[in-house]
Amino acid sequence: MSNSIKPNTTGLIFAMREEQEGLQSFIQNKKVHHIAKRDFIQGELWGHPVVMVLSGIGKVAAASTTSLLIHHFQVNQLILSGVAGSTDPVLKVGDIVIGKELLQHDIDASPLFPRFEIPLTGKSRFFAQKDLLNEVQNATTRFIQSMKQHFSSAQLDEFQLQNVKLHTGLIASGDQFIHDSSVLNQLKQALPDLLAVEMEGAAIAQVCEEHDLAFVIIRTISDSANETAHIDFLSFVKNVAAPYSLGILKNYFENRIKS
């Protein structure tokens, strides 16, 4: 497979099917590889080589998928686009958060190692690469400015998307759908700069860091990680998060310099 791989390939990871579907129809010269119970869809998006895949939910699924993208497809950067729960009142449902730092909130080998530290690495936070982060931030800003082209005014009203903001900072991942204010508050106490929680980003970050690969995690806020978190979750993913992923990634690839 390696000889059919183009240099400069971007790996695109989605955790949920609804989010991948929108982009799938834009992929050119499509070729599907079935590996480890996943479909890796290879092709081009707006002139750039990509391999997109549904990782499944959780850290193990995300880490294993990342490793497959690196070893089978030699991707040279990775982007995950998905949804997350807000952990700060500043972030509203419909806002977008880009992970500048990623941490695994459920790793705790204390007292042997400090809470959140990956044992024997001395690391708890993984950092997105600056250039990729900037390019994706710019693409997201352009997308937000063009929201009216992507949503009807009825949709903007229904999902309260009139004043969408982009935030950049710390995202924490763990194998838990957080839907409980007390869990959320404890986490926020330990990590005051935490913006959002999800279930895959920091696993991808750890694998990318081991391979010196650039990654960026883009998340649409779907809920407030409290008791209301499950309400209309799937409708939000389908109607808001999926078009966001498409809009942001289209903006990113259309403005990316071709190699």
User: Which stretch, 69-77, 108-116, 128-136, 191-199, contacts ligand SAH (CB under 6 A)?
Assistant: 191-199
Considering the rule CB under 6 A, would residue 109 count as an interface residue with ligand SAH? Answer: no
| Site size with ligand SAH, rule: CB under 6 A | 19
The yes or no reply on residue 83 touching ligand SAH (CB under 6 A) is: yes
Question: Is residue 82 part of the contact set for ligand SAH (CB under 6 A)?
Answer: yes
- Is 223 catalytic? The answer is yes
Residue 197 binds ligand SAH (CB under 6 A):
yes
Residue closer to ligand SAH, measured from CB, 196 or 213: 196
Binder to ligand SAH among 5, 35, 57, 156 (CB under 6 A)? 57
Burial of 30-47, coded b for 16+ CB within 10 Å and e otherwise, reads eeebeeeebebbbbbbbe
Burial class (CB in 10 A: 0-12, 13-18, 19+), 123: middle
- The least CB distance from residue 196 to ligand SAH, in Å, is 8
Stretch that binds ligand SAH, among 39-47, 128-136, 147-155, 177-185 (CB under 6 A): 177-185
Residues 176 and 165: their CA atoms lie apart, in Å, by: 26
Catalytic residue among 18, 19, 88, 101: 19
Q: Whats the size of the chain, residue-wise? A: 259
DSSP letters, 163-220, are: T--EEEEEEEE-SS----HHHHHHHHHH-TTEEEEESSHHHHHHHHHHTT-EEEEEEE
Q: Which stretch binds ligand SAH (CB under 6 A): 41-49, 127-135, 173-181, 186-194?
A: 173-181
Catalytic center residues? 19, 223
| Residues within the interface to ligand SAH (CB under 6 A) | 15, 57, 82-85, 177-179, 197-200, 222-223, 225, 229, 233-234
